A and B are shown apart, each in its own frame.
Chain A
Amino acid sequence: MVDFGGWDMPVAFGSQIEEHHAVRNAAGVFDVSHMCVVDLIGGRTRELLSRLLANDIARLKVPGSALYSCMLNEQGGVIDDLIAYYLADDHFRLVVNASTRDKDLAWIGAHATQLDLRLLERRDLAMLAVQGPLARQRTATLLSSEAASAVMSLLPFHGAQIGDWFVARTGYTGEDGFEIMLPAGDAAKLWQGLNAAGVRSCGLGARDTLRLEAGMNLYGNDMDEHTNPLESGLAWTVAFAPTQRDFIGRAALELIRARGSEHKRVGLVLQERAVLRSHQRVIVSGGGEGEVTSGTYSPTLSRSIGLARVPISTGASVQVEVRGRMLPALTVRPPFVRHGRPLIQL
C-alpha cells in the first residue's frame, strides 16, 4: 500500500505485470475512488466551464458526452487536467485529480460563486474503472438487461445515468472500458462481482504502466502549473477557436504560440536494458538538455519507455543519464500501445 494524495492505495494485488497484461488482453478493475468528483449545478454552468477550461465545453452537445481538458492559470500553466461530463443543462460533472483536490475546489469555487453556481463534491460516490477488450461485456453480465443494453450502446467518451450509477465509456489505459461512479456502499459488491466475472483486480502500478504505454500524461509529472499544454503534448486539447471564447490562460498561450514553444514533449524508447525514471537528465545532440517526466518498464514492449520534456530542436535520438551512465534512447510520438497493439517500431 502507498499513500496517494491522502488515500491508502495498493500498488498491486499480486504481480503488477500480470495485472497489466490482463487489461491489455482481457479485463481488469481499478479502484479510482481517490479521484475527486464535483458536480456543478446552476443555470450558468456552461458559462463557467467556457471560462475555466482550455478545451471548449460547447463541444458537448448531447447529454452524457464528455470532454478532456486542462484548467489553466492566467500564465497558461496547468492547474489540473480533468474530464467534464454534460449531464443536463444545469448540471455538469467534473472528475479532477486527488492530488490537486484542494486547490481545484478553491479555484472552481471562487469562479462559481460569481455565477451563483453550486459546487457539490460527491464524496458519497466511489469510482471503479473496468478496462480491457473484454471489460464492457464482462461488466454488462452483472447488470439488468435494460441497463446492460444502455451501457453497451454508449459511444466512446459518453456516459449514462443508470439508477444511482453513472457509467461512462472512458478510461486511462488505452483500452476500451467503463468508469463507473456509484454509491460507495455498492462498490465492494460490484468489485467482487467483476472478479467473479473474470475481471482481475489491478493496482496503481499497472495503472501507471498502462497510461504511459497509452501516452497519457500524469498531472504533477508530465505537466504542472509551471508548464503549459502546448509544450506538454496537450495542444490538441486547447480550443483556440472560436476566437471570442475568453478562457483563462488564453492570452498567455497565444503569446507562446506566436513566439513558438522552447520545449516539446516526446516519447522515449530506451535502447538498453535499464529503466527510465522521472527526473533523469536527457542530453540532446547539438546542445541542450531535457528531463524525463515519466518513465517505466513497458510490459507490452518488454523495454523501458518514458515521456520527456526536451528542447524543441530535439531530433530522433537522445542520451539519457540513467544511474550514472549515458544510455541511448529513440524519440517517438506517443502512444506506444493502443488497444493491445504496439504502435512503435522496435
Chain B
Amino acid sequence: MSKIPADLKYTRSHEWLKTMPDGIIEIGISDHAQEALGDLVFVELPEVGRSLAAGEACAVVESVKAASDIYAPVAATVVAINVQLAEAPELINQDPYGRGWILRLKPTAQGADSGLLSAHDYQVLAAEG
C-alpha cells in the first residue's frame, strides 16, 4: 500500500503539494505515482524564474517505462528546483515526499487551489488506479 501523508494536498495527475509558512508550494509526485512509473531515469526541470500558467506542464519525470509531465497546480513562478535529481532521479523512488521533491513555486495569486484533493480523496483516486 502506498503512502499518502495526511498533511499534503494532491492533484488528479498524482502530484503532491506542500504549502510552506511563507506561501511557497513544494511539489513532487506521490508514492503511488512513483510505484506506477517504476525506476526513474531522467528528470527534466524548468529554469528558476520561469512563469507558469495554472495547468501548464513544467517538468518531466521519465522512468524506464514511461514519461510523465508535471503540471503547475496554480499560476506561479518557479523559485527552486531539486538539482540533485539530475544525477540521482532515483531519489523520487526512494523518498517521494522528502529528498525526491521536484520544484518549489511561488503562486501569483492567493487562494487558487480549490481543485486540490485531500489525502482522503486522493486515496480514493489512487485506489481506483
Contacts A12-B38, A274-B42 hold; do A297 and B64 have CB atoms under 8 A apart? yes
Task: Please state if A15 and B93 are interface contacts (CB–CB under 8 Å).
Answer: yes
- Asked whether B56 is an interface residue with its Cβ less than 8 Å from the other chain, the reply is no
- Asked whether A275 is an interface residue with its Cβ less than 8 Å from the other chain, the reply is yes
Q: Contacts of A205 on B, CB cut-off 8 Å? A: 38, 64-65
Bound-state Cα–Cα, A1 to B65, Å:
13
Q: Contacts of B44 on A, CB cut-off 8 Å? A: 273
- Asked whether B24 is an interface residue with its Cβ less than 8 Å from the other chain, the reply is no
- Asked whether A17 is an interface residue with its Cβ less than 8 Å from the other chain, the reply is yes
Bound-state Cα–Cα, A17 to B44, Å:
20
Bound-state Cα–Cα, A191 to B90, Å:
28
Interface residues of A in 1-52 (CB under 8 A from B): 11-12, 15-17
Report the minimal beta-carbon distance from B56 to chain A, rounded to whole angstroms.
15
Report the minimal beta-carbon distance from B113 to chain A, rounded to whole angstroms.
28
- Asked whether B41 is an interface residue with its Cβ less than 8 Å from the other chain, the reply is yes
Bound-state Cα–Cα, A12 to B41, Å:
15
Q: Which residues of B contact A (CB under 8 A)?
A: 38-39, 41-42, 44, 60, 62, 64-65, 67, 90, 93
23 contacts between A and B (CB under 8 A): A11-B38, A11-B65, A12-B38, A15-B90, A15-B93, A16-B38, A17-B64, A17-B90, A205-B38, A205-B64, A205-B65, A209-B64, A273-B42, A273-B44, A274-B42, A275-B62, A275-B64, A275-B67, A296-B64, A297-B42, A297-B62, A323-B60, A323-B67
Q: Contacts of B64 on A, CB cut-off 8 Å? A: 16-17, 205, 209, 275, 296-297
The 6 closest A-B pairs by CB, nearest first: A297-B41, A17-B39, A273-B42, A297-B64, A16-B39, A275-B62
Interface residues of A in 203-229 (CB under 8 A from B): 205, 209
Q: Contacts of B41 on A, CB cut-off 8 Å? A: 17, 275, 297
Report the minimal beta-carbon distance from B68 to chain A, rounded to whole angstroms.
11
Give the interface centre of B42, B62, B64, B90 by most chain A CB atoms within 10 Å: B64
Bound-state Cα–Cα, A15 to B67, Å:
17
Q: Contacts of B93 on A, CB cut-off 8 Å? A: 15
